[in-house]
Homo-oligomer: A and B are copies of this chain.
Amino acid sequence: MHELRAGLTKKKKAKIILFVLDGVGGLPHPKLTELEAAKTPTLDKLVKKSETGCHVPIIPGLTPGSGAAHMALFGYDPLRYDIGRGVLEALGLDISVSDKDVLIRGNFSTIKDNGSKVTILDRRAGRISTETNNRIVKLLQSRIKKIDSVGVEFVSGLEHRFVCKLKFKTKLDSSQVQIYDTDPEEVGVAPLIPKNINKNSLKVSNIIIKLMSLIKEVLKKEKKANYALLRGFSVYPEIPTFDSLYGLKAASIVTYPMYKGISKLVGMEHLDVKKNSIESQVDTLISHYDKYDFFYFHVKKTDSFGEDGNYKEKIKVIQNFDTELKKINKLNFDVICITGDHSTPSKMKSHSWHPVPVAIKSKNSFYGTSKRFTEKECLKGTMGLFEGKNLMNYILAHSELLSKFGA
């Protein structure tokens, strides 16, 4: 796909914006989805002049993580480019990553240990403060610097989150970090063993087993954060950049580390946003409008409220976005694409596999099929139901950046 598309990419310029409302898709709750219940006059107006459809993030029935879903939206086959959570978190925290490093996403957590049996009581250690996190990370770093010949580095994230970097002496590829997470994703059970899935991964999994028992030893006197669950063991993947694939100078306007991470991974420049608000993100967009061809604009809170099961607040975020969208009309984009990375129905309190509405407004849009930016209305559009990885094709087509395929 990449080669095919590269061969067709024209050396022209276009101004493009891709809005990703994280987890925006929903379910009838009990009658209207969040998008159906929201009052969105600006979106409605835009959609009436847009080409529409719904995307299936990965393949039918698969519920994606945000990383995989974003890879698809950016035009990468998510089954081929499977990016580990550890790497995404590390990039989001501005940790330098080399091809000799294994990156791990950690959660401080609370366990009960009666000597013979360990039971997880809280997977997030009661969401300890970032301050406490900093103190604990410092403690860990002072006590664990090396395991055998492998360097160990800890970096604090927000609340209970941290990243651990294992610095090996030689280059590693992804076949060497096929290791099960230690987080069982439930409480009342024991942590899992970081078992190597293939033989190739034994070297790394042995280090991780040692790491786990060292962490447990160091943290044993902590009240809440007396343990750490580890997941997303991963190495830096080799990914062609956005610029090399599409000839587009791209920037990201995001407020959460993971999305900063994924946008850097594909070679986008990260633009600073002053406050964690859509309004502030729009300010950043306006002030950098002239400098880039492509903007990736990520709205996080639709997903957060979906995960919390907060139907009303998710609707408010959509309405807030709708208000801010008005300002975009004053800019002169050739292509405006609005979609989500996946659905997070507040009814399910989790990501889901359901299709996600897509609207693309350009002078080349086949409009007139959909009246609103909702799941049902967009499904009526001429893009129908398509795999998320094909979205960039549509965006490039609307931008007139692709020439004809074949004679």
* Residues of chain B contacted by A354 (CB below 8 angstroms): 366, 382
Interface check A368, CB cutoff 8 A: yes
CA distance A405 to B82 in the complex (A): 9
Contact residues on A (Cβ < 8 Å of other chain), bracket: 35 or more
A86 CB → nearest B CB, Å: 8
* Residues of chain B contacted by A382 (CB below 8 angstroms): 54, 354-355, 375-376, 379, 385
CA distance A78 to B406 in the complex (A): 8
* Residues of chain B contacted by A380 (CB below 8 angstroms): 379
A325 CB → nearest B CB, Å: 22
Interface string of A258-281 (1 = CB under 8 A from B): 000000000000000000000000
With A364-B27, A382-B354 known to touch, is A407 a contact of B63 (CB < 8 Å)?
Answer: no
* Residues of chain B contacted by A405 (CB below 8 angstroms): 58, 62-65, 68, 78
Interface string of A374-407 (1 = CB under 8 A from B): 0110011011111000101111110000111111
Stretch at the interface among A159-167, A244-252, A299-307, A345-353: A345-353
Interface check A126, CB cutoff 8 A: no
Residue of B nearest to A367 (CB): B28
* Residues of chain B contacted by A365 (CB below 8 angstroms): 27
CA distance A351 to B226 in the complex (A): 63
Residue of B nearest to A394 (CB): B61
* Residues of chain B contacted by A375 (CB below 8 angstroms): 366, 382
